[in-house]
Amino acid sequence: MLLGTGSSVGKSTLTAALCRIFYNEGYKVAPFKAQNMALNSFVTKDGKEMGRAQVVQAEAAGIEPRVEMNPILMKPITNIGSQIILNGKVYKNLTACEYYLEKDFLKAIVMNAYKVLSSQYELVFIEGAGGCAEINLRDKDIVNMGFAEMIDAPVILVGDIDKGGVFASLYGSVMLLGPDDRKRIQGFIINKFRGDKNLLIPGIKMLEEKIGIPCLGIVPYVDLNIDEEDSLTSKFEGKKGKGIHIGIIKLPHISNFSDFTPLEMEEDINLSYITSKGQIEDVDLLIIPGTKSTIEDMHFIYEKGIHKDIYQKYESGAYILGICGGYQMLGKEIVDPNQMESSHNIINGLGLLNVKTIITKEKSMQQVQGKVISKNGLLKNLENQKLWGYEIHMGKTQFIGKTIPAIELENGTVGGIISSCGKILGTYLHGIFENDIFRREILNHIRKEKNLEILEKEIDYKKEREKEYEKLASVVSKNLDLKKIKEILEL
């Protein structure tokens, strides 16, 4: 089990690295995280929702993602409450206090899921959540030391030196734990190091003496292009390139920002995240992403004045794409009669597409296939092109005026529409940019308009992602004491 001194210290990435390292050695490996709080999620082939980090780890382990790898997913709706997903299906909305009252029930859920994995795989690498020394929650814990105790797992502690204060955070985490919990820690890893390792050695030796736990490695900072699980990701810093400028509105409840990982692999893309008015003047493609709280984030767009910029971009002829919640926002109206996602019942959308969305109690979760059925504007060279994606939304979108279907799904339903001017596209398909030809042709359409070099050969996103996993495994294996880790694993 990998636990951290805090959030975003690299637990997810190191777990993925170990999955790939031992997968490459021929072991049957699976990842596990009992409880995940994230808005970046995925839908499995059997229509169940799970955290994106465990999807990445499953891919690194060479296996298909399954909900047993993440039996509890918490999707924040407000500052005090979340939608709870159990075994891939919506359970109910709970405040933190209400959630902890169901500890015994939830404990059984995570144990059953873990038992399924541990019976089918030789190695299970378990990721903790946040910091391991949340002493106010220890008696309620089912994801950190509490879970380690439940299954009697050895623990490796991860600290992030990039943030500063790594020695204090490692020492403090260990010292705040009870004696039995401390005994579980078999070693610690210093992650995201930049510079000369020799400068760290004196501090490491002092720390080892003080806590009686060995250092298992110093992992350097690695620039990787793989999905991350939560809003603490550094991906929101954007990507600098000299070509097409894509602006993504960073909504307060932004979800499934992994949709844009494939765009970051394009060399000439300048990708920026928009948080206020006046930041989208030179944007060629404006994207309104998915959100867990569509109405609340629509309020955000109005309060920040971003809607005025959107209208200006529309009038100037820029392209606008809405995905999931962003698609709903492009419509005329969003209604939440049962207040499933907001304390507000209704709000006007941007009015750029002739649709209206009603937030429902039922959640649509499915992988889908379809094809482009329009050659209008942005889709000029894509008619009949096959598409793959997945849907996660609580809302039914109705057509309330003239609409042009853009994407037809295999079940005969419309998966997206485009405006008559061909500049505005709305779709429910997450993962749409993972379709290599679709991504290439849309970007080439914009490149041509900007007199930029046209790229004839698309980037193979799946192959590039595999290269990233191998790169990660190579760096981590060279900088960890794998012999000691194998001893911990009793291999």
Residue 40: strand pairing partners:
none
Enumerate residues 6+ apart whose C-beta is below 8 A from 79: none
| β-strands 285-288, 254-255 pairing | unpaired
Query: Which whole-number Å values give the CA distances from 113 to 42, 195, 230, 397, in the listed order?
Result: 18, 41, 23, 35
Catalytic residue, chosen from 245, 307, 430, 445, is 430
**Spatial contact of 18 and 476, defined as CB atoms under 8 Å apart:** yes
**Residue 171: alpha-carbon gap to chain centroid:** 30
> Which among 215, 324, 393, 445 is annotated as catalytic?
324
- Beta carbons of 287 and 318 less than 8 angstroms apart: no
**Helices (H), ranges, 51-200:** 52-60, 96-101, 103-120, 145-151, 166-176, 179-184
The verdict on whether 430 is a catalytic residue reads yes
CA distance to 70, 343, 489, per residue, from 231 (Å): 18, 23, 32
For residue 141, the model assigns a pLDDT of 95
| Residue 469 · residue 13 · CB < 8 Å | no
Cα atoms found within 13 Å of the Cα of residue 264, Cβ hemisphere only: 22
Q: N- to C-terminal Cα distance for the chain?
A: 15
Which residue bears the tokens 């220890």?
Answer: 138
| Alpha carbons 162 and 257: distance in angstroms, whole number | 23
16 three-class SS: helix
Query: Of 320, 409, 402, whose CA–CA distance to 373 is shortest?
Result: 409
Helix orientation angle between 52-60 and 11-24, rounded to the nearest 10 degrees: 20
Task: Give the span between the Cα atoms of 256 and 289, in whole angstroms.
Answer: 8
d(CA 371, CA 210): 61
Phi/psi of residue 244, each to 5°? -75, 135
Taking each helix axis from N to C end, the angle separating 461-479 and 11-24, rounded to the nearest 10 degrees, works out to: 90
- Give the global pTM: 0.92
Q: Which of 251, 261, 241, 267 is nearest to 322 (CA)?
A: 251
The 8 Å CB, 24+ separation contacts for 447-451 are 447/243, 447/244, 447/268, 450/243, 450/244, 450/284
CA-closest candidate to residue 31, choices 48, 53, 4, 9: 53
Classify 66 as helix, strand or coil.
coil
Phi, psi of 176 (to 5 degrees): -80, -15
What the block records as the tokens of 172 is 């403090």
Report the Cα 237 to chain-centroid distance in Å: 15
* CA distance linking residue 251 with residue 297, whole number of Å: 6
Question: How many beta carbons lie within 10 A of that of residue 94, not counting itself?
Answer: 18
- Angular region, 305: left φ>0, alpha ψ -120 to 50, beta rest: left
* Domains defined for the chain, CATH in brackets: 2-226+466-488 (3.40.50.300), 244-451 (3.40.50.880)
In eight-state DSSP terms, residue 444 is H
**Average pLDDT for consecutive 10-residue bins of the chain (491 residues)?**
96 97 98 95 96 97 98 86 94 92 96 98 97 94 97 97 95 97 98 93 97 97 80 64 91 93 90 92 94 93 96 93 97 90 88 95 93 94 95 92 93 94 96 96 94 85 95 97 96 89
